[in-house]
Chains A and B, each alone.
Chain A
Amino acid sequence: MHGISFDIAHMLAGFLVLASFSMLYQVRLYALLNVLALHAFVLALSVAWQAHIQDAPHLYITALIALGFKAILIPWALRKIVFRLGIHREIEAVGGIGPTMLAGMALVALSLEVMLPVTALADPVAREDIALALSVVLIGLLTMVTRRNAVSQVVGFLSLENGIILAAAGARGMPLVVEISVAFSVLVACIVVGIFLFRIRERFDSVDVGVMDTFRGGQG
């Protein structure tokens, strides 16, 4: 029974990494938000599949949150923000798309490399599952670091978080997964609301009230 179910789980995780890569590849905000929705959707599928094979019904809630909140609500809200704040539609990437992709590759390799000696997870497939989750986390962080645009940074954070949820869901029998995903959703909501409230257009730091562009963490 293990063979096929793990293969599917594995494949879904692989899709998630792929979705992360395509995030790195995007140069337009709306497209990026679409990819985000796809990312969350794949996550929802993946979590649901885990719920199925682990026979853990509570994971379905997590999957639902992923679907409803992350795949639909957040991308919609971000789209609104982009529209309302008149944010530039193109993503300013640090270091260009190509090198970022290469860095993403390196991160995946690194994740596999550090996970390789892990023997505790008897099934090598599960091990790679975690390795893929790690890749998603790292790529999410990479997205945050290499994108100058606040919205795309939120997207990066979301994909990072998706990786974590993936890992949590993949960890058989892990308690509190639902609570964690709820907590994270609240966190993300706070960030999105914050962006909207503070009218953060370009960067996370420029809490734009006009004069404060010069201020960056105080001079003293």
Chain B
Amino acid sequence: MTPDPVSGVLWVPPIAAALLAAIPAYRVSAIVNVVASGIALMFALLLPLADRPGAGHLLFVDDLNVVFIVLNSFVGFTASIFSASYIEHELETGRLAPMQVRYYHAMFQLMLFGMNLALTANNIGLMWVAVELATLATVTIVGLYRTHQALEAAWKYFILGSVGIALALFGTILVYLAARPSVGEGMDAMVWTTLVAHAKDFDPSLLNIAFVFLLLGYGTKVGLAPLHAWLPDAHAEGPTPISAVLSGLLLNVALYALLRFKILLTGNSHAIAPGPLMMGLGLLSLLFAAFMLYRRRDIKRMFAYSSIEHMGIVVFAFGMAGPLGNFAGLMQMTMHSLTKSAIFFAVGHLTQVKRTQWMPEIGGVTESHPLLGWGLVAGVVAIVGLPPFGVFMSEFLVVSSALARDPILAGVLMLGLLLSLGALLLRVTDVAFGPVKGPAGPVKAAYLPLFAHLALVAMAGIWLPPPIVAWFQHVARTLG
């Protein structure tokens, strides 16, 4: 009998977390971390193929969350490989003590658990709890270095996150209140599948208010401007694998929660259309991040702002909705996760070897570290939306469906894209090219995650496998 993939995805990380908390040897724990992530990934890959259990009160699996789970597990796996070599270097240089590493590994898996739980939850309350669990786990890792900056970043993340948590909870309560008259009291009124089925009978006004709170609550986690403030610092000060996971996964999970509620709202014809709100916030984030990128000097913070920008695009795309908009949003999100985590993999090793995140002190890395340097350049070329990478295709779809809807919006979108491209290129040109600055010693880097991601992204830009396309299209239709 084959094990149930859902349980596998869900329970491997917490078991691994417990195990890792017990293992003192960092080499072993790094391997365990990779293996556990790999097992979770295998379960995740089984998910689309396996029979799906019926939706329970707590958990369920449908096409939408499978996309997220597979992506999550994949990036989690590659990040764990990267993390192994990253952490080894940190131990060698003495930036981290073995005890911290132990803690880090446990939290890494705990975070994965939180995210997987949030994704498989069929209960809006459980989902809320899971998102908070993942957030709190990352908060503690962000402060791992115990430097002042790291602690402050973690603190900022914690406070803003807590307020976000509170707002999201209030929204959840309001959804329950809206659902209660038609669904009945108790657990049923928090089960998502039931909620969707009855969404048309809900009180629209209550749903509206609920959505405002959920949008801001989960939007804080997504990193939408003006709720983004925690994001750049958390990315910049935490260990780089966590930056990759934050950008690649956690933002997606929060987005996923937002999407679930969006579906709910779309199901009720009297409620406000969530689309324009999301489009507005998305555009705001995009433009804001684009301008903010120009003044960045810290390389990780810069790419964090780029994540804000891309989440803006994704939210904009989902806000536009329609089969095309949703497809574009899904693809943009997937591509962003893969690309951004690849960038952070490269950046992580580079900052280790250059011993700084300060871009003016880094230069000519394509010269001193050709593979890492070109990996970074390829990642940036991908993330700014140039072919042959997949981000180009998804941004093309976003922009062209925006064009069909309203050229003015498309114009603003393009302005944001161009501005952010300019900013990223401006900085990365100096980092990647020109005279070599900073230490040029050899680096023990994990190239596999970096180039595997880039290869996937490049392939997606040229050719998407038809099954994936069909799947995404199906999901896009269910998103409305």
Direct A–B touching in the complex (beta carbon < 8 Å)?
A: yes
Say yes or no: A190 contacts B158, CB within 8 Å: yes
Q: How far is the CA of A190 from the CA of B136 in the complex (A)?
A: 10
On whether the beta carbons of B236 and A220 are closer than 8 Å, the reply is yes
Contact (Cβ within 8 A) A164 B181: no
A168 to B166, CA, bound (A): 12
Count of chain A residues with Cβ under 8 Å from any Cβ of B?
Answer: 46
CB distance from A192 to the nearest CB of B (A): 12
A194 at the interface (CB under 8 A from B): yes
**Chain B, interface residues (CB within 8 Å), range:** 35 or more
Residues A215 and B186 in contact in the complex (CB < 8 Å), given A120-B177, A179-B129, A220-B298: no
A61: min CB distance to chain B, Å: 17
Report the nearest B residue to A172, measured CB to CB: B185
User: Does A194 lie within 8 Å of B158, measured CB to CB?
Assistant: yes
A96 interface residue (CB < 8 Å to B): no
* Complex-state Cα separation, A211 to B205, whole angstroms: 50
Residues of B within 8 A of A144 (CB): 163
| A3-11, A68-76, A202-210: which lies at the interface | A202-210
> Taking A157-B162, A187-B162, A204-B159 as contacts, is the C-beta distance between A175 and B148 under 8 angstroms?
no
The distance in angstroms between the C-alpha atoms of A220 and B359, with both chains bound, is: 9
Could you say which residues of chain B place their CB within 8 Å of the CB of A204? Answer: 155-156, 159
Given contacts A117-B205, A122-B181, are A157 and B176 in contact (CB under 8 A)? no
State the CA gap A164–B209 with chains docked (Å): 14
CB distance from B350 to the nearest CB of A (A): 15
Q: Are B159 and A191 in contact (CB under 8 A)?
A: yes
Contact assessment for B155 and A207 in the assembled complex, using a CB-CB cutoff below 8 Å: yes
Residue pair B233, A164 in contact (C-beta under 8 Å): no
Please give me the residue from chain B that is nearest to A212 by CB atom.
Answer: B148
Assess the B173–A171 pair: CB atoms within 8 A: yes
Residues 375 to 413 of chain B near chain A (Cβ within 8 Å): none
- Give the Cβ gap from A217 to chain B, nearest Cβ, in Å: 5
Chain A residues near B177 (CB, 8 Å)? 120-121, 130, 167, 171
Q: Are A218 and B125 in contact (CB under 8 A)?
A: no
What is the distance, in angstroms, from B200's C-beta to the closest C-beta of chain A? 13
Give min CB distance, B174 to chain A, whole Å: 8
Judge whether B152 is part of the interface by a CB distance below 8 angstroms.
yes
B114 CB to nearest A CB, Å:
13
- Residue B187 lies at the interface, judged by CB distance under 8 Å to chain A: yes
Q: How many residue pairs, one in A and one in B, have C-beta atoms under 8 Å apart?
A: 132
Q: Given A115-B209, A220-B236, check contact A187 B165 (CB 8 Å).
A: yes
Query: Of B151, B170, B237, B359, which contacts A164 at CB under 8 A?
Result: B170
B301 within 8 A of partner (CB)? yes
For A141, give the chain B residue with the smallest CB separation: B163
Smallest CB-CB separation from B160: which chain A residue?
A204
Provide the B278-301 mask, 1 if CB < 8 A to any CB of A, else 0.
Answer: 000000000000000000111001
Are the C-beta atoms of A183 and B132 separated by less than 8 Å?
yes
Q: In whole angstroms, how far apart are the Cα atoms of A216 and B125 in the complex? A: 35
Q: Does the CB pair B125–A175 fall under 8 Å? A: yes
Closest chain-B Cβ to A10's Cβ sits at a distance in Å of 16
> Which residues does chain B contribute within 8 Å of A215, judged by CB atoms?
148-149, 152
In the bound complex, what is the Cα–Cα distance between A190 and B297 (angstroms)? 32
Q: A172-B180, A204-B159 are in contact. Are A218 and B301 (CB under 8 A)?
A: yes
Known: A118-B206, A171-B176, A183-B129. A161 touches B187 (CB 8 A): no
Chain B residue nearest to A54 in the complex (CB): B185
Contacts of B185 in A (CB 8 A): 172-174
Q: A180: CB under 8 A from chain B? A: yes
Of chain B, the residue at the smallest CB distance from A208 is B148
Q: Do B169 and A191 touch across chains, with their CB atoms under 8 A apart?
A: no
Any chain B CB within 8 A of the CB of A160? yes
Instruction: Please state if B149 and A120 are interface contacts (CB–CB under 8 Å).
Output: no
Chain B CB within 10 A, most for which of A118, A167, A198: A118
B-side contacts of A209, CB under 8 Å: 148
Instruction: Point out the residues of chain B lying under 8 angstroms from A163, CB to CB.
Output: 170
Confirm or deny: A114 has a beta carbon within 8 angstroms of a beta carbon on chain B: yes
Are the CB atoms of A168 and B173 closer together than 8 Å? yes
Q: How far is the CB of A28 from chain B (nearest CB, A)?
A: 24
Whether A220 contacts B296 by the Cβ 8 Å rule is: yes
- Are A120 and B236 in touch, CB under 8 angstroms? no
Flag if B205 contacts A220 (CB, 8 Å).
no
- Hey, which chain A residues are within 8 Å of B153, CB to CB? 217-218
A218-B296 Cα distance, complex, nearest whole Å: 10
> Can you list 14 residue pairs at the A/B interface with Cβ under 8 Å?
A120-B178, A121-B181, A144-B163, A163-B170, A168-B169, A172-B180, A173-B180, A173-B189, A174-B173, A175-B186, A176-B190, A184-B166, A212-B152, A220-B296
3 smallest CB-CB distances across A and B, nearest first, come from A173-B185, A220-B298, A120-B203
